Amino acid sequence: MSKSLSFHEQTGIIVPGATLVFGLLFFFPEFRQLFFYDGVSLGGLGLFLLISYAAGHLAAALGNLVEAGIWGLGGGRPVNWVIQAKDRLLSSEQIDSLENLIRQRLRLEIPAIRGMTPRQWLPISRQIYADVIAHGKSAKIDSFNGIYGLNRGLAAALLALVLLSLAFSETDWRVTLGLLPIAIIYLFRMYRFGISYASELYCQFLLLPPQPPIAKRLSNVTRLPVS
């Protein structure tokens, strides 16, 4: 699987999708025979992974709604905290260095970072991410991004199961009571790794030399920052 699916797909799609499917089998036990009719087989496992992949995208869609609410209450996405008057991510000196490095290294004539809108800052943050990738310093950032997606997907899957348990009047209330705090823990982990992602992104960029990079073709840069 690792040869055909990226780290982000495995952590952010497959694992949450499998969690959601396992939970659905708890509420709909008659579907268990689709995967485990005659024990665990290669065909049943393949079908389970295929459906888990599809369910993982549903969990990711719900996760997008969940993270919009979380970051709406948390002061915006961490990657945009640097444009706020009271930045909680970098010091004032680091903000000044970030502005200078963007002008020198990326050759962008930008106004002061503080006060920019998220729409104005989005393409700049993406270019920062692409520059860090081109410099070969994105391993830890991508790891934080993958773990962020994992926790977002798991929280969304568990919240979906919580809603489903509430819809079934015969469901033991202890099931709902057990799933809800676990979902909250995953949401907290998502929040923490969203901050870690943004902090690592800017710290790695600040370590780059001020000289503009040599123009070259960027390949395999298909995934954009999530936070």
11/108 Cα distance (integer angstroms): 35
Establish if 39 belongs to a structural domain.
yes
Establish if 217 belongs to a structural domain.
no
Task: Find, among 113, 201, 196, 106, the residue nearest to 151 by Cα.
Answer: 196
Establish if 17 belongs to a structural domain.
yes
- pLDDT, averaged per 10 consecutive residues of the chain (227 residues), comes to 62 89 81 61 72 91 93 91 87 93 92 91 95 90 93 94 79 78 95 95 94 58 49
- Count up the domains in the chain and report the number: 1
97/103 Cα distance (integer angstroms): 10
Establish if 149 belongs to a structural domain.
yes
Establish if 46 belongs to a structural domain.
yes
Task: Find, among 157, 223, 166, the residue nearest to 190 by Cα.
Answer: 157
Establish if 224 belongs to a structural domain.
no
Domain that holds residue 121: 7-206
pLDDT digits (tens, 9 = 90+) for 74-109: 889 999 999 998 878 899 999 999 999 999 999 999
Looking at every residue in the chain, the average pLDDT score rounds to 84
